[in-house]
């Protein structure tokens, strides 16, 4: 019974965070489908995105894997209902990544969420921006917010993408001249 109650609390926290982000995310102009089978090799993904602190990154990922799996389940369930809010969150996280990266590296202005991350603290910076002011001081909420960011990092929605992985193309009725 206690495990069922804990699972319910965990899903409620994820729903609260996503609800806050859904409300504050701008709507995407084109829709696309997130492919469930996008599973990059995390070692390669970490190596090409972070110059230093590899052990800290791996430990953080391991420490949050339970939360990341709950986020994955929540996202998969939400996408069965309506994938647009999730895509709006992806865009919000990508925009936050670009903004935080540009602040940290003033000399490296970027407009592409698929650039090398370098500094792992950007993951925390983005996670903080996904929380309400009341939630920002709660370590449990912070762990979930960080897990949301790590989940989308794992799926290559932010950070440099390993060469063997292709990003999903936009799905729209218009032809993209740059495809």
Q: pLDDT tens digits, the chain, 179 residues: what are they?
A: 565 677 677 778 888 887 877 676 666 555 555 555 555 567 777 777 777 777 888 888 889 888 888 888 888 888 888 888 888 888 888 888 888 877 776 656 666 666 666 777 888 999 999 999 999 999 989 999 999 998 888 776 777 777 765 544 443 334 443 33
Q: Domain for residue 5, yes or no?
A: no
92's CB contacts (< 8 A; 6+ apart) are: 21, 24, 25, 26, 130
Q: Domain for residue 29, yes or no?
A: no
Q: Domain for residue 2, yes or no?
A: no
Distances in Å between the Cα of 71 and the Cα atoms of 1, 50, 96, 146 are 22, 23, 19, 10
* Angle subtended by helix axes 54-81 and 2-24, to nearest 10: 80
pTM of the model: 0.74
Residue 86 domain boundaries = 43-170
3-state secondary structure of 28: coil
Please name which of 136, 141, 158 lies closest in space to residue 45, comparing C-alpha atoms. Answer: 158
Q: Domain for residue 141, yes or no?
A: yes
Count of domains in the chain? 1
The stretches of 35-53 forming alpha helices (DSSP H) are 42-49
pLDDT for 138 equals: 92
Q: Domain for residue 175, yes or no?
A: no
């Amino acid at each position: 019974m206690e495990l069922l109650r804990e699972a319910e609390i965990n899903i409620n926290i994820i729903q609260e965070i996503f609800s806050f982000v859904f409300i504050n995310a701008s709507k995407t102009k084109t829709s696309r489908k997130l492919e469930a089978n996008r599973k990059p090799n995390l070692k390669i993904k970490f190596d090409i995105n972070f110059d230093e602190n590899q052990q800290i990154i791996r430990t953080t990922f391991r420490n949050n894997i339970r939360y990341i799996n709950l986020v994955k389940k929540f996202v998969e369930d939400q996408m069965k209902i309506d994938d647009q809010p999730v895509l709006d969150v992806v865009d919000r996280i990508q925009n936050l990544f670009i903004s935080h990266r540009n602040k940290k590296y003033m000399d490296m202005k970027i407009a592409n969420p698929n650039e090398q991350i370098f500094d792992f603290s950007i993951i925390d910076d983005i996670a903080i921006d996904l929380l309400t002011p009341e939630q920002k001081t709660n370590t449990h909420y912070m762990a979930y917010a960080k897990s949301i960011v790590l989940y989308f990092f794992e799926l290559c929605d932010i950070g440099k993408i390993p060469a063997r992985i292709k990003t999903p193309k936009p799905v729209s009725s218009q032809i993209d001249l740059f495809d």
